[in-house]
């Protein structure tokens, strides 16, 4: 116990520790491995700030009116070993059945080389979203591979670098269609043969936008109701492969866009949607090596035609060039996105599913076109074997032609649905059961011949099979009808044909990883993104089979372990936030915003106040806030901030008054996005309540509040948590995330339901994600964090996060003024430094400083948000004083370099800042022509001699890439030639 401050130490001794354990020296505290600064370092930092204790600092920082007056009621903290043991016991209550349920989720084989080198590798999973592309070329290349693979498989020109899940991707397709269709129609046709969760997520999304969803049979739909778009499933949820050409033609005559939800594995054999006229293809790449995980996380894909590139939702990786003319990757067309376009953005997608997209893309790289085709053929051939066997036993297949999924009639069949299901359960097998008495079976990559025999036996009942597979198989044909046969090639690019041995693959993965700066290199002080430690013990359970190999629609009786995990995590998060209940369904922060606002909307509607549609949002808000409000059919009214950066109370009162009749909600971030604990937060909440509005709290800044204050106590009605920020789920290079929401009692009835598995409130809003609990397989991470920290540990973490931020603000203030401060000139857990002065004095912009930081081995803080021309620094509690000092020293050294420009000592254009970052190649090259030394370029600090991280490309030309948009590796290779 080194790092708990003395006051906490005393209470620990008195109240919690068992004296025997302490006497024997058995106390083992994870908190000291998560919170880096030791008590000596804490004292040194406090001294620098002029405080005598950590509590004295916190008392001055967090307004006393909102301070939590008790300790959080959480189980006593456990060591890594104890917590893992307890979670093991919980996990063992899950029964891992063999699931043939399908419906968009299939068992698959994660190649061990990919599991170990990506999924379980902090070099990959602790990276940040690639906003600083010069130090993110590795994951950008992996994502470009993903886009190329999707483009190839779907036969469409352009694909994004992942969305959250298939259902939300379909909803994004609907939104895009209404935006780009030249039709004035307000109806969207959805085939009833789509997955049920997709249909419901679409309906949820359509309702607040005033769009009508027509669910029907595509064969019978006569287009008499005009539509702006349609969604079809290929193959259908029941397994049938349909010829949609005629439907597509008719839709196009009406200027409607056709979206096709397609299984990417099937596209290795079937004519891709792009070749028969689809405008958009969406789907899930789960079965490309990503474990089922009881529903997620998995990467969804979204592909469309080139002409819609500016309307494409989500992130898009594109090729550009660096200062040396070398091809280089970066996120393209960012001006479509919420952080710039706010309420006019193409979508609210911020965190997506980068790590999972990387895994899926590497599955493609590892297997190559031949391997992917073999896997698809294997799955199909086994399915044919099963289907023909079933026919011989006397069953009718209702889903022909099929790829991997059969709908099997049980009327007048040898066995009843009930009898088969019961026999299946005894064999620990899950099948899909239809209300009409039929059964569904979906085979997958992991299916064996033995399993096909077992399945046949289940349907045969007690009878021995009247044939053997050895007799049956030679008689089978595996061809698809002509129209469905894929003739075009795919994955022809070099990258998919080069790394098929494990040696080559591992070297390729390591090569990419070495280009990326992650938390394994140095601190990533990203304001608002809380890049803290993702402890190995937290990550460990993610790949346990008891969590990984469970189908999201397995009966609840098999998922008792998961139910316990959810209950405990919900109870703990409720206690931490002060809310009555939690929904774990939203699978990113922005999804939480959307869900929370829908809950508010439903609340108003049930009270007969459905007209309330005004959403007040401070100007400083994160771009996802206005984008989410618009998705809920709300009108955004901005609230000004005053010169201190706080919400302008007068403006708030005026606008609340003005829109009193129609006020739906206020969205507010606390502590503010300016990094300040506003003292008026309760008044702000009360003002909104007085006018009948609800308070939505953006909880991205929860890391400043653990055990110190609770949104539920100071006036919020609903709040999302970014588990991938405060609660240790790693950032994954831009996802996965989880954005559960907490609500007050009066909003509990409206928490989202799910069409397949029972969950949610009594007057629930429809599903907002494909899976009932979002991305369950990463919830063990947050469970482990809370279990190991306990109440005292969490509180200590927030206190040290605040201390670390104030220490950095204090050290940097005289070099770069801290823009906003709260009470006693203190900041919360992050601070904004103002760089606009050096823009004026030396024409040095934030980007120049961000790129120069790379030469020092650092990732830049958040750049130009929430205020243009500034940087927002958030160190978190997991960084040591030594690391904070190193970063501050780098920033101060850069300030000196700027001073040299100000003094006219160096060229204002040709200098270390404007030319940053400096690559190895530039510095080693023979033609060094710069007015400063190579040493100054690459080794501006002494510590770099011991460990130097080299940016792999020079500064990237963003505008060039946007003008010459290339989003697949075909383009990349053309550049290299
Ligand atoms: C990160 C963040 C969000 C969005 O969360 P995602 O998980 O990326 O969707 C919203 N608001 C704030 C203040 C954030 O920092």
Measuring CA to CA, how many Å separate 962 from each of 159, 292, 331, 335, 696? Answer: 15, 36, 9, 10, 36
pLDDT tens-digit series, residues 330-369: 999 987 777 778 888 889 999 999 999 999 999 999 999 9
379 shares a domain with 358: no
343 shares a domain with 373: no
Q: Quick check: 2 pLDDT over 60?
A: no
* Token pair recorded at residue 254: 């009406």
For residue 403, how far is its CA from the centre of ligand 1 (angstroms)?
39
Give Cα 903 to chain centroid, integer Å: 46
Q: Which of 345, 365, 385 is the last residue of a domain?
A: 365
Residue 566, H or E segment:
helix 560-577
> Would you place residue 5 in the very low, low, confident or very high pLDDT band (cuts 50, 70, 90)?
very low
pLDDT tens-digit series, residues 375-409: 999 999 999 999 999 999 999 999 999 999 999 99
Residue pointed to by tokens 């839709």:
251
Measuring CA to CA, how many Å separate 386 from each of 166, 235, 351? Answer: 27, 18, 41
Q: Quick check: 117 pLDDT over 90?
A: yes
* Token pair recorded at residue 100: 């043939």
Rounded CA separation 812/792 (Å)? 30
Kindly state if the Cβ of 716 falls inside 6 Å of ligand 1: no
For residue 529, how far is its CA from the centre of ligand 1 (angstroms)?
7
For residue 65, how far is its CA from the centre of ligand 1 (angstroms)?
27
Helices and strands (DSSP H and E) totals, the chain: 34, 25
For residue 699, how far is its CA from the centre of ligand 1 (angstroms)?
8
344 shares a domain with 445: no
Rg (CA), the chain: 28
| pLDDT score for 973 | 57
| pLDDT score for 974 | 56
Q: What region does 908 belong to: left with phi over 0, alpha with psi -120 to 50, or beta?
A: alpha
Pocket mutation for ligand 1, best pick of 129, 353, 590 (most atoms within 8 Å of C-beta): 590
Q: Are strands 327-331 and 317-321 parallel, antiparallel or unpaired?
A: antiparallel
SS3 722: coil
Rounded CA separation 305/358 (Å)? 23
343 shares a domain with 245: yes
Mean pLDDT of the 41-50 span = 98
| pLDDT score for 871 | 97
pLDDT tens-digit series, residues 744-767: 999 999 999 999 999 999 999 999
For residue 93, how far is its CA from the centre of ligand 1 (angstroms)?
34
* Token pair recorded at residue 756: 């397949």
Q: Which residues contact 747 (CB under 8 A, 6 or more apart)?
A: 599, 600, 603, 694, 717, 718
Kindly state if the Cβ of 673 falls inside 6 Å of ligand 1: yes
Q: Quick check: 739 pLDDT over 60?
A: yes
Average pLDDT, the chain: 95
| pLDDT score for 370 | 98
- How would you label 859-886 residue by residue, b for 16+ Cβ within 10 Å and e otherwise? bbbbbbbbbebbbbbbbbbbbbbebbbb
269 shares a domain with 174: yes
Mean pLDDT of the 418-433 span = 98
465 shares a domain with 404: yes
**Residue at 607 is within a domain:** no
pLDDT tens-digit series, residues 208-267: 999 999 999 999 999 999 999 999 999 999 999 999 999 999 999 999 999 999 999 999
Mean pLDDT of the 848-862 span = 98
| pLDDT score for 470 | 95
Pocket mutation for ligand 1, best pick of 354, 698, 734, 740 (most atoms within 8 Å of C-beta): 698
867 shares a domain with 798: yes
Pocket mutation for ligand 1, best pick of 596, 700, 704, 874 (most atoms within 8 Å of C-beta): 700
| pLDDT score for 339 | 77
User: What's the whole-model pTM score?
Assistant: 0.97
Q: Quick check: 39 pLDDT over 80?
A: yes
| pLDDT score for 1 | 38
Q: Is 444 exposed, middle or buried (0-12, 13-18, 19+ CB in 10 A)?
A: buried
CATH number at residue 245: 3.40.640.10
Q: At what angle do helices 354-393 and 449-460 cross, to 10 degrees?
A: 50
256 shares a domain with 202: yes
SS3 261: strand
352 within 8 A of 739, measured Cβ to Cβ:
no
858 within 8 A of 135, measured Cβ to Cβ:
no
404 shares a domain with 345: no
| pLDDT score for 6 | 43
- The parent domain of residue 195 ranges over 117-365
Q: Which of 467, 484, 501 is the last residue of a domain?
A: 484
| pLDDT score for 589 | 98
**Residue at 688 is within a domain:** no
Mean pLDDT of the 46-62 span = 97
What value, to the nearest 5°, has the Cα angle with vertex 974 and ends 972 and 977?
Answer: 110
94 within 8 A of 428, measured Cβ to Cβ:
no
Kindly state if the Cβ of 352 falls inside 6 Å of ligand 1: no
Q: Give the number of residues written for the chain.
A: 977
Q: Quick check: 21 pLDDT over 90?
A: no
305 shares a domain with 451: no
**Residue at 104 is within a domain:** no
For residue 245, how far is its CA from the centre of ligand 1 (angstroms)?
41
Q: Of all residues in the chain, what percent carry a pLDDT higher than 90?
A: 93
pLDDT tens-digit series, residues 658-710: 999 999 999 999 999 999 999 999 999 999 999 999 999 999 999 999 999 99
Kindly state if the Cβ of 399 falls inside 6 Å of ligand 1: no
Q: Quick check: 14 pLDDT over 50?
A: no
Per the structure, the count of domains in the chain is: 3
Q: Which of 484, 512, 543 is the last residue of a domain?
A: 484
**Residue at 671 is within a domain:** no
| pLDDT score for 835 | 97
For residue 590, how far is its CA from the centre of ligand 1 (angstroms)?
6
**Residue at 664 is within a domain:** no
**Residue at 736 is within a domain:** no
Mean pLDDT of the 4-30 span = 60
Q: Which residues contact 762 (CB under 8 A, 6 or more apart)?
A: 749
Nearest atom of ligand 1 to the alpha carbon of 737: 7
350 shares a domain with 247: yes
Nearest atom of ligand 1 to the alpha carbon of 621: 13
| pLDDT score for 12 | 43
**Residue at 254 is within a domain:** yes
Q: Quick check: 4 pLDDT over 50?
A: no
Rounded CA separation 319/965 (Å)? 7
Instruction: Work out the number of other CB atoms within 10 angstroms of the CB of residue 765.
Output: 23
For residue 625, how far is its CA from the centre of ligand 1 (angstroms)?
9
SS3 34: helix
Rounded CA separation 443/857 (Å)? 48
Rounded CA separation 332/140 (Å)? 11
Mean pLDDT of the 93-118 span = 98
Cis peptide preceding 401, ω within 30 of 0: yes
CATH number at residue 466: 3.90.1150.10
> Would you place residue 971 in the very low, low, confident or very high pLDDT band (cuts 50, 70, 90)?
low
Nearest atom of ligand 1 to the alpha carbon of 724: 7
> Would you place residue 17 in the very low, low, confident or very high pLDDT band (cuts 50, 70, 90)?
low
38 within 8 A of 45, measured Cβ to Cβ:
no
Q: Where are the alpha helices (DSSP H) in 182-270?
A: 196-206, 245-253
Cis peptide preceding 332, ω within 30 of 0: no
Mean pLDDT of the 536-565 span = 98
Instruction: Work out the number of other CB atoms within 10 angstroms of the CB of residue 428.
Output: 12
Residue pointed to by tokens 């790449």:
285
327 shares a domain with 254: yes
pLDDT tens-digit series, residues 439-456: 999 999 999 999 999 999
**Residue at 937 is within a domain:** no
């Amino acid at each position: 116990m080194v790092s708990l401050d003395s006051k906490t130490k005393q209470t620990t001794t008195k109240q919690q520790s068992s004296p025997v354990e302490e006497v024997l020296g058995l106390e083992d505290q994870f908190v000291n491995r998560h919170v880096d600064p030791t008590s000596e370092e804490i004292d040194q930092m406090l001294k620098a700030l002029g405080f005598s204790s950590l509590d004295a600092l916190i008392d001055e920082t967090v307004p006393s009116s909102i301070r939590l007056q008790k300790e959080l009621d959480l189980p006593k903290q456990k060591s890594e070993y104890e917590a893992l043991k307890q979670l093991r016991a919980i996990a063992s209550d899950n029964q891992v059945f063999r699931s043939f349920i399908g419906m968009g989720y299939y068992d698959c084989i994660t190649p061990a080389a990919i599991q170990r080198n990506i999924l379980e590798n902090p070099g990959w999973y602790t990276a940040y979203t690639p906003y600083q592309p010069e130090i993110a070329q590795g994951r950008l290349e992996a994502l470009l591979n993903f886009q190329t693979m999707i483009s190839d498989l779907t036969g469409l020109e352009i694909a994004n670098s992942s969305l959250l899940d298939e259902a939300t991707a379909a909803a994004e397709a609907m939104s895009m269609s209404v935006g780009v269709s030249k039709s004035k129609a307000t109806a969207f046709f959805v085939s009833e043969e789509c997955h049920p969760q997709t249909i419901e997520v679409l309906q949820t999304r359509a309702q607040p936008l005033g769009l009508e969803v027509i669910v029907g049979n595509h064969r019978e739909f006569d287009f008499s109701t005009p539509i702006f778009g349609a969604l079809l499933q290929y193959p259908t949820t029941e397994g049938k492969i349909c010829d949609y050409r005629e439907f597509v033609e008719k839709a196009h005559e009406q200027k409607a866009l056709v979206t096709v939800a397609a299984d990417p594995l099937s596209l290795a054999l079937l004519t891709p949607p792009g070749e028969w006229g689809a405008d958009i293809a969406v789907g899930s790449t789960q079965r490309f090596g990503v474990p089922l995980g009881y529903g997620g996380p998995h990467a969804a894909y979204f592909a469309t035609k080139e002409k819609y590139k500016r309307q494409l939702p989500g992130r898009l990786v594109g090729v550009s060039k660096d200062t040396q003319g070398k091809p280089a990757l970066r996120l393209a067309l960012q001006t479509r996105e919420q952080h710039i376009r706010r309420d006019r953005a193409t979508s609210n997608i911020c965190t997506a599913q980068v790590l999972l997209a990387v895994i899926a893309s590497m599955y493609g790289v590892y297997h190559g076109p031949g391997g992917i085709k073999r896997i698809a053929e294997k799955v199909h051939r086994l399915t044919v074997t099963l289907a023909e066997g079933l026919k011989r036993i006397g069953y009718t297949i209702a889903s022909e032609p099929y790829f991997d999924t059969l709908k099997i009639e049980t009327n007048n069949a040898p066995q009843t649905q009930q009898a088969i299901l019961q026999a299946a359960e005894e064999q620990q097998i899950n099948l899909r059961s239809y209300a009409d008495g039929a059964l569904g079976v979906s085979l997958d990559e992991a299916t064996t011949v033995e399993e096909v025999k077992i399945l046949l036996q289940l349907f045969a009942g007690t009878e021995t099979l009247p044939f053997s597979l050895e007799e049956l198989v030679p008689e089978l044909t595996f061809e698809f009808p002509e129209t469905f046969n894929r003739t075009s090639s795919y994955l022809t690019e070099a990258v998919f044909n080069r790394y098929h041995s494990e040696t080559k693959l591992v070297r390729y993965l390591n090569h990419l990883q070495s280009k990326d700066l992650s938390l394994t290199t140095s601190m990533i002080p990203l304001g608002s993104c809380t890049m803290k430690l993702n402890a190995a013990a937290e990550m460990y359970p993610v790949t346990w089979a008891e969590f990984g190999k469970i189908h999201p629609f397995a009966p609840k009786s098999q998922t008792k372990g998961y139910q316990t995990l959810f209950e405990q995590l919900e109870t703990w998060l409720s206690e931490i936030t002060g809310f009555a209940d939690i929904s774990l369904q939203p699978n990113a922060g922005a999804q939480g915003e959307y869900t929370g606002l829908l809950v508010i909307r439903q609340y108003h509607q049930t009270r007969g106040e459905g007209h309330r549609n005004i959403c007040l949002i401070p100007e400083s808000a994160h771009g996802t806030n206005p984008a989410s409000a618009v998705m809920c059919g709300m009108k955004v009214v901005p609230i000004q901030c005053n010169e201190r950066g706080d919400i302008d109370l007068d403006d708030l009162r005026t606008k609340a008054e003005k829109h009193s009749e129609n006020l739906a909600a206020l969205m507010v971030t606390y502590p503010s996005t300016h990094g300040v604990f506003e003292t008026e937060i309760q008044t702000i909440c009360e003002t909104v309540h007085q006018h009948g509005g609800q308070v939505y709290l953006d909880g991205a800044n929860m890391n400043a509040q653990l055990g110190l204050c609770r949104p539920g106590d100071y006036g919020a009605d609903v709040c999302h948590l970014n588990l991938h920020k405060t609660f240790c789920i790693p950032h994954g290079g831009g996802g996965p995330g989880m954005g559960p929401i907490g609500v007050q009692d009066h909003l509990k009835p409206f928490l989202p339901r799910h069409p397949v598995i029972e969950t949610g409130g009594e007057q629930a809003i429809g599903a907002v994600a494909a899976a009932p609990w979002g991305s369950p397989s990463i919830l063990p991470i947050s469970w482990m964090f809370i279990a190991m920290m306990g109440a005292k540990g969490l509180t200590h973490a927030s206190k040290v996060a605040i201390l670390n931020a104030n220490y950095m603000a204090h050290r940097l203030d005289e070099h770069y003024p801290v823009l906003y401060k709260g009470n006693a000139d203190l900041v919360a857990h992050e601070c904004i430094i103002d760089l606009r002065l050096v823009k004026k004095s030396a024409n040095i912009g934030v980007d120049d400083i961000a790129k120069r930081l790379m030469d020092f081995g650092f990732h830049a803080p958040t750049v130009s948000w929430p205020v243009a021309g500034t940087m927002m620094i958030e160190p978190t509690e997991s960084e040591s004083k030594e690391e904070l000092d190193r970063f501050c020293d780098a920033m101060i050294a850069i300030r000196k370099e700027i001073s040299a420009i100000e003094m006219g000592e160096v060229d204002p254009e040709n200098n270390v800042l404007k030319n940053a970052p400096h690559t190895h190649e530039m510095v080693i090259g023979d033609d060094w022509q710069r007015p400063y030394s190579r040493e100054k370029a690459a080794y501006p600090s002494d510590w770099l001699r011991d460990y130097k991280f080299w940016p792999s490309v020079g500064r990237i030309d963003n505008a060039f890439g946007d003008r010459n948009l290339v989003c697949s590796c075909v383009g990349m290779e053309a550049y290299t030639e």
